[in-house]
Structure 1
Amino acid sequence: MPIKPILFNTDMVRAILDGRKSCTRRICKDANEYTVPDMEFYNADKRTYAVHNFADKEQMEQLSTAERTCPICTGDILYVRETWKEAPKGYYYYEDWQKDDIADVTKWKPSIHMPKEAARIWLKVTNVRVERLQEITEVQAQAEGCNSGLLTGACTARGQFEDLWNSTVKKSDLDRYGWDASPWVWVIEFERCEKLEE
């Protein structure tokens, strides 16, 4: 069973710890207007899925079908990388420091550099699918950790998710990956689990 890292911002780390987040969406970079992902061809042994290639944006003329490797599959174990620091008494996490005022004795390190042994949040992937970003429902937005009015002025969890999503996309990529573009995304559902070693 593969063990892989995954990044979350501080607000989403808190949502996981609070039990409000059980799903995440990530860009499916194998897909675009001419290339459509298809998990109905998922092969668990090979960890692959299909993409259908079309000659046109209306997807009327199919050219070919190719096999691609899934980045994350059902059953995978993920450890959450978050902003952290190491001190004589162990590891500290930025999300806790904001809440508990842990003494700032060393510099915070970016989440991308967190080693596996420092991770405190472990997740087991329970389901993976692909869909268009704007297919998210109000209930699914709540599973993403969004609750209307908590982080933004949005009136619904879905509206809050839209704001949250766009805040994570570079301005230069909004036309391609922003909410209005409704790109293909991986929908990764998970549950908390105990720390595992490879």
Structure 2
Amino acid sequence: MTDRPILFSGPMIEALLAGRKTQTRRLCRYANDEHLVHVVQIDVPSEPGWFGDEEGDVRFFSGYAPGDRLWVREAWRTHKAYDDLKPSELGGEETVWPELDRDNCDYHGRYRHGRFMPRWASRLTLVVTDVRVQRLQAITLGDICAEGLGSSIYDFKPVQRAFDAWIALWDSINGEGAWARNPWVTAVSFDVRKGNIDNLEAAHG
């Protein structure tokens, strides 16, 4: 089991909090896939790391494994009195306001990007339950819902609306044409725990 941070945008944080999002897809690092032109999914070992075919012609890297705990990073602020301090200089006692939830109080400090959120400030933890490495276009309607775009498959009529929404989202994050390139991705399924990673045992014990 490994603990690691994971970054999400505001809309995806909303989906996590609402219980709609139980999957995420991240681009998979690979050395060579010219031998896998027609392959859409391959088995992932139980431990994270490099893996591939027996000949060594294809080598992927999966940074996730079932049982891993991911502490969620999101945009945030502290009191304006701490605006001159770097995140590493904060002591962990400061009040944190997620950007998604904050009001317009005049004592809120400057905007801080989610990539700089320290572990102690995280309010969501994801416990990995399954990891797949697959082509992006192997995603199903159920997967799209689990990615947070809908509460159930019945939200989308016709079904193509779900795929159009997913394609637009993926391209907005990864650049125009990213869906069409059909890259290899790591599809991570997880349970959402509302609480800081270091307090999970106390909250769910």
1:78–1:156 CA distance, 2 compared to 1 (3 A): same
Larger displacement relative to structure 2 (1-10 or 68-77): 68-77
Pairwise mapping of residues 96-175 of structure 1 onto structure 2 (< 5 A)?
96-97=101-102, 101-104=103-106, 105-147=108-150, 156-171=161-176, 174=177
Match of 1:29 in 2: 29
Q: Does 1:180 align with 2:180?
A: yes
Alpha-carbon distance in 1 for matches of 2:16, 2:129? 15
**Could you tell me whether the CA contact under 8 Å between 1:31 and 1:184 is conserved in 2?**
no
Q: CA shift at 1:136, angstroms?
A: 0.8
**Could you tell me whether the CA contact under 8 Å between 1:48 and 1:67 is conserved in 2?**
no
The one-letter code sitting in structure 1 at the alignment partner of 2:191 is: E
* Gap runs ≥5 in structure 2: 82-93, 200-205
1:35–1:50 CA distance, 2 compared to 1 (3 A): farther
1:197 match: secondary structure: helix
Q: TM-score, with normalisation over the residues of structure 1?
A: 0.77
Match of 1:5 in 2: 5
The one-letter code sitting in structure 1 at the alignment partner of 2:20 is: R
Q: CA shift at 1:133, angstroms?
A: 0.6
Match of 2:75 in 1: 83
Aligned alpha-carbon RMSD (Å): 2.9
Alpha-carbon distance in 1 for matches of 2:44, 2:101? 42
Q: CA shift at 1:74, angstroms?
A: 1.0
Q: CA shift at 1:138, angstroms?
A: 1.2
1:6 match: secondary structure: strand
Identity %: 31
Match of 1:195 in 2: 196
* Gap runs ≥5 in structure 1: 54-62
Q: CA shift at 1:52, angstroms?
A: 3.6
Q: CA shift at 1:48, angstroms?
A: 3.5
1:120–1:187 CA distance, 2 compared to 1 (3 A): same
Match of 2:52 in 1: 51
How many residues align structurally? 175
